[in-house]
Chain A
């Protein structure tokens, strides 16, 4: 079955510390992978995406993500977190099944401590 797993419901980090948010996907074929961020009461903003090629992708706001086929993972990273990064982060996957709909993970809420 097609699924996206974000194992961490809530993560707290100190401002300036590094961050890694985990995402694992299921299904056999290589999917298209995305990370979105949602601030409270807002829509989702696309941080980055991976379709093919270099497995380390750079996104906006200093975020990057690495696709690891062997681990079925697409973890999001940032070397130094800012207080404004506090938000909900969603990993999403498109499985190329025709409809090409987005499958979302359950989200990880990031709290940043001053």
Chain B
């Protein structure tokens, strides 16, 4: 149980284009989903938290207009990196948490490379 998928697992895009990453909870309802960014050999940096049907809450320093997050259903959240630049290249990981729960279950991550 508690499986979270992410798609795509890796993506290469050109500078200036947008890319969408999907995060799905496969066997439970995720009332809250989280998006993290991880740099090589570093810990996870929380970018934003989204509750189903609500606007996402962004961490300080994260541009909400650049990283668009949608959590339209209890099983799907999307992260869209708009007007991507090479410095947006990173490993993006989503996680999901059920109602009343404290533990988060993580997706396998998406490697984004912007050329």
Chain A residues at the B interface, C-beta cutoff of 8 Å: 32, 34, 36, 41-46, 49, 51, 90, 94, 99-102, 104-107, 109
Pairwise interchain contact B43-A106, C-beta atoms closer than 8 A? yes
Task: Flag if B106 contacts A32 (CB, 8 Å).
Answer: no
Q: Decide if B6 is an interface residue (CB 8 Å cutoff).
A: yes
Contact B103 A49 (CB under 8 A): yes
**Is B54 interfacial (CB 8 A cutoff)?**
no
Given contacts A51-B102, A106-B43, 19 further A-B contacts (CB under 8 A): A32-B103, A41-B91, A42-B109, A43-B6, A43-B93, A43-B108, A43-B109, A44-B44, A44-B93, A44-B106, A45-B106, A46-B2, A46-B103, A46-B106, A49-B103, A90-B44, A101-B46, A107-B42, A109-B41
Closest to A44 in B: B106
Please indicate the chain A residues that have their CB under 8 angstroms from the CB of B49 in the complex: 99, 101
Which 3 residue pairs of A and B lie closest in terms of their CB atoms, listed nearest first?
A43-B106, A44-B106, A43-B108
Contact of A94 among B2, B102, B106 (CB under 8 A): B102
| Chain A contacts for B34, CB-based, 8 A | 101-102
